[in-house]
């Protein structure tokens, strides 16, 4: 009985110590939105659907009361693999839930990020005038992927 228990508990212990990083095929959708706190109330939303291998970017302005798709397209499995590896390398799957500056800011903007997985799990994060340091590196992966600096 002890051998069976050890065979069962040991893999669980290893998984808990190393984390359970998702596989590329587990990633269903990524949505990233930016918004301005002043002016026209501009919002840009970037959506990547990894099940359909499609992306679309939507821009809206509160003052114009409408939105428009300003880019849409598709991507290959190879492109998706490169982006996934970049997200993993930069630490996107370990992102904190919220980022904000330590001082007072009277203007600027914010962002939200949502990663949805095929098993229903979600990773969500947001920020007010602050972002994780790794966003700078991740921007290049997105540019290589779709031609836009998404983050």
Residue 48 pairs with which residues in a beta bridge?
A: 30, 55
pTM for this entry: 0.77
Decide if 68 contacts 58 (C-beta within 8 A): yes
DSSP notation for 4-40? HHHHHHHHHHHHHHH--PPPGGGEEEEEEEEEESSTT
| Tokens 């598709």, residue located | 74
Kindly report, residue by residue over 3-42, the tens digit of the pLDDT: 443 343 433 333 333 345 677 779 999 999 998 877 667 8
Give 105's pLDDT tier (boundaries 50, 70, 90): confident
């Amino acid at each position: 009985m002890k051998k069976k228990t050890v065979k069962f508990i040991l893999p669980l212990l290893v998984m808990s110590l190393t984390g359970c990083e998702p596989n590329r095929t587990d990633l269903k959708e990524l949505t990233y939105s930016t918004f301005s706190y002043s002016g026209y109330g501009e919002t840009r939303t970037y959506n990547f659907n990894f099940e359909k291998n499609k992306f679309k970017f939507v821009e809206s302005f509160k003052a114009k009361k409408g939105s428009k798709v300003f880019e849409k397209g598709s991507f290959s499995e190879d492109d998706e693999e490169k982006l996934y590896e970049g997200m993993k390398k930069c630490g996107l799957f370990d992102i904190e839930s919220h980022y904000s500056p330590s001082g007072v800011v009277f203007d600027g903007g914010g962002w939200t990020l949502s990663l949805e997985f095929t098993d229903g799990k979600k990773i969500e994060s947001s920020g007010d005038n602050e972002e994780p340091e790794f966003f700078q590196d991740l921007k290049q992966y997105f540019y290589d992927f779709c031609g836009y600096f998404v983050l």
